Structure 1
Amino acid sequence: MKTTTQTKLLQLTPQVRAVVMLLLEGKSNKEIANTMSIAIKTVEQYLTLAYRTFAVDGRVQLLLELLK
């Protein structure tokens, strides 16, 4: 990961960062929710925060940014 990616990850709350890490593992929103014992809607909200932080429009773009 580039330094800018690491910096952006550190800007996220620990909960949002955990969701992003589970996303990187290939988990679905439902699987992330079950793993973290939170609602699917909460996962969606956390992902929206991550999308904003990384200035991307969705899941695939976020993954591409993280894997650069």
Structure 2
Amino acid sequence: MATDILTIIKSVAKRFAHAQRVQHIAALEIIARELGKPNWRGLAASYKQGWRPDQMESLERLLLYR
């Protein structure tokens, strides 16, 4: 079974939060904006409506350069 993209995004946010010493919710908000959504709730709502990120490489950059 393939891993859900939203689960991957949450995992990336958790690693980012730890690396940057910020709260997990703050990391979720940053990642949502990086993926073109106004906030985490907007990203989650869009995901439920079928939106999928086409910018996963920007998440990798976020982890590497922050």
Name the TM-score class by shorter chain: 0.3 to 0.5
Greater helix percent: which structure? 1
The two structures have a TM-score, normalised by structure 1, of 0.39
TM-score (norm 2): 0.40
